[in-house]
Amino acid sequence: MSAFEEIGTFLQQQPVVRQWAELAEVIQTAVAARPKHWLLPFVACDAVGGVRGRALPGAAAIACLHTAILLVDDMLDDDLQGLFRRYGASVTCNLAGALQSLGMEIIATSDFHAHVRVAALAKLNHMYSMTALGQHWDTTRPITEEGYWKLIRAKSSPFFGAALCIGGLLGGGQEEITQRLWEIGVRYGEIIQINDDLDDAFAVPASPDWLDNHCSLPILYADSVAHPERDHFRWLRSNVSDPANLSEAQAILIRSGSVSYCIYHLNELITQLDRMIDNAQLTNADVLHRLVAEVAAPVHSLLSAVGNA
């Protein structure tokens, strides 16, 4: 049985899921997508030398909260693929609330020592409240780079910090080590966000990131930094529903230095992250270095592509 199947089976056995057909269906859909972020608690458990299976409640809780966040985020983005289009906004809001509660309940009713459960719940609650704050800020659409970093450090990074910290806690890691895992996760989350921004910026057809009221580092750079094609880029940005305009705007992302700027930040973050892992006094740091290598590979490919453009 794969880790995703383990998580799915664990969640489908929860009493509230057994009673709620739509909730069971949402979980089944989420499991089928196999979000790799759900596996972070297992990775962190391995990193502190814990028994991998002990991280299952943490992975299940992270799966619940991740799914809840996406349900809300898709509604805020008016995503054409969002599950709220199948269930309606009212049902989707209730499903998101149930998943948030279920994630906390899984930890609260687990067989870990009370101090471990309290610490894990505190991190999960902090993460979820920060994500909600970030989603609120996202509705105000920051238009500066300072606003961008403030937003992702609230909306995106805490999730990854919590996922690694929870795995470390359930794996028996000491407080100092699990706090370092939180910090490693936060930095890792920044890398994930910039990678996602780049993927979305070059998606076809145009992703919601191209809308004037969305915040994406590559698009923000090309829209705000002085370069010869900035005015034309702004016009194209308002007309990316036309595939030709989208293609031209994406080419300007490369020519303007926007993509290179993102790669610069990614390389800096990757270097910092590897250093943080080396200094974290982990039993098995290699599992985290492999995690970094996975997110670094697309950066190196993109750097090569930009160099050949």
pLDDT tens-digit map of 80-119? 777 888 888 899 999 999 999 999 999 999 999 999 999 9
pLDDT tens-digit map of 65-77? 999 999 998 888 7
Per the structure, the complete domain to which residue 38 belongs is given by 3-308
The answer to whether residue 306 scores a pLDDT higher than 70 is no
The answer to whether residue 124 scores a pLDDT higher than 60 is yes
Higher pLDDT, 75 or 258: 258
Confidence tier at 280 by pLDDT (50, 70, 90): very high
Confidence tier at 308 by pLDDT (50, 70, 90): low
Contact 6, 41 (CB under 8 A): no
Confidence at residue 86, expressed as pLDDT on a 0 to 100 scale = 86
Confidence at residue 129, expressed as pLDDT on a 0 to 100 scale = 96
In three-state form (DSSP H/G/I as H, E/B as E, the rest C), the secondary structure along the chain is CCHHHHHHHHHHCCHHHHCCHHHHHHHHHHHHCCCHHHHHHHHHHHHCCCCHHHHHHHHHHHHHHHHHHHHHHHHHHCCCCCCHHHHCHHHHHHHHHHHHHHHHHHHHCCCCCHHHHHHHHHHHHHHHHHHHHHHHHHHHCCCCHHHHHHHHHHHCHHHHHHHHHHHHHHCCCCHHHHHHHHHHHHHHHHHHHHHHHHHHHCCCCCCHHHCCCCCCHHHHHHHHCCCCCHHHHHHHHCCCCCHHHHHHHHHHHHHCCHHHHHHHHHHHHHHHHHHHHHCCCCCCCHHHHHHHHHHHHHHHHHHHHHHHC
Confidence at residue 141, expressed as pLDDT on a 0 to 100 scale = 66
CATH of the domain at 157: 1.10.600.10
Q: Is the pTM of this model over 0.85?
A: yes
Q: How many domains does the chain have?
A: 1
pLDDT tens-digit map of 125-182? 999 999 999 888 887 766 788 888 999 999 889 999 999 999 999 999 999 999 999 9
What is the C-alpha separation between 92 and 22, in angstroms, rounded? Answer: 9
Mean pLDDT of all residues belonging to the chain:
93
Q: How far apart are the first and last CA of the chain?
A: 44
| CA-based radius of gyration for the chain | 20
Average of per-residue pLDDT across 43-63: 98
The answer to whether residue 278 scores a pLDDT higher than 90 is yes
